[in-house]
Amino acid sequence: MAARLLVGQSGGPTAVMNSSLLGVIEAALDRSEVSNVLGAIDGIEGLLEGQAIDLGHEDHATLRALRRTPSAALGSCRYKLQSGDADRLLDQLRRLGVGYFAYIGGNDSADTAHTLARRAAEIGQDLRVIAIPKTIDNDLPSTDHCPGYGSIARFVATALQDVGRDTEAMHRLDPVKIVEVMGRNAGWVAAASALGKRDGRDPPHLICPPERLLDLDQFLDSVQAVQRRLGHAVIVVAETVRGADGALIGADRDVRDSFGHRRLVEPARKLAALVEERLGLRARYDRPGTIQRMSSPCQSEVDLNEAEAAGRHAVDALLAGNTDQMVALIRPPGPGYRCDFGLAPLSAVANVEKPLPPAFFPGDDALPTPAFRAYAEPLLGGPLPEHARLQRVFVKI
């Protein structure tokens, strides 16, 4: 007997999150085992309030337009299941006739999906649960990379090229620029800022990822050395960069969400103030905020295609009888780039973060290794812009 499939979105939206949603909807509507496709409004939190819609009533053109629409069309949430929530949700799903649940999200969403799958098994409810990876942080284990990362990597790499030319031009007024990027506790996004770097003059000149404690004296020495060599300096800092004492730089209060994640408080602003105070150099800071995870002009074609394919694979996995699993993106060895799809147990994914590995970790110059470039460049979806630089052959006056 056919059952309904419910799909939801959770966590920070991305530029390609709706491409995964489209993949789920189209694949499910094409299968006789699925009687209809429902959408959870505002993720699990909205579902607890009884907020669900019939996606089968959407017209085809609207659904296809989802592929290039950034953000989360169903709405999102950051909600940790409380005592009794799993049973309430399972009761709602039973009354809705839902036999399949696909949840698009990151580490915390994997925890939600894992909890529901386990509880359904404990009480004997016929519900299959598959998580679809989504995070710009690229920090999920058991997958080569995550949908959403290729597009934010393209954004920050392009933005740093542009920021570098602005700072180079304005070096007499504002010789130091500090750019703060997202990524939570992993340096994948920060490292991607160097993918447009062609030579030593190009930015970033220094990267401060969360995996390395930042000695402020050494940081200031490095900034000054770059500024003296080039006349300007562009630095990328991760939003969770920590000082030598292990404390978050710029965090002056301990405010956390329901999953225990600290509210982040602009380390770039604090570091820019420190540069001005200690080095006497005017410093500006840029903090792109949520636009970096959401920029439709920087959507990577590879990212869009893989996000949609991940949604389709989730439906195939559900209908094949799988549950308590996450779709995993697999990069086969060998020349060229290809992405296959498999499954990973949610128990190995929920609430686990994958840091930037040592092979990609910045070396003494705090810039990513060639191994990281080989890993990340295929995910960008095409070449980055190449900016010109004048030779500047001076004449006597």
Separation CA 239–CA 212 (nearest Å): 13
Separation CA 29–CA 35 (nearest Å): 8
Q: Is 137 one of the catalytic residues?
A: yes
Active-site hit among 137, 139, 286, 303: 137
Residue 318 in contact with residue 102, Cβ under 8 Å? yes
Binning the chain into helix, strand and coil, the percentages to the nearest 5 are: 40, 15, 45
Separation CA 252–CA 265 (nearest Å): 7
Sign of the alpha-carbon dihedral angle for 1, 9, 321, 333 = positive
Residue 69 in contact with residue 20, Cβ under 8 Å? no
H or E element in which residue 20 lies? helix 17-29
Token pair in block for residue 349: 């994914």
> Of 57, 77, 16, whose CA–CA distance to 259 is shortest?
77
Residue 379 in contact with residue 136, Cβ under 8 Å? no
Active site members:
137
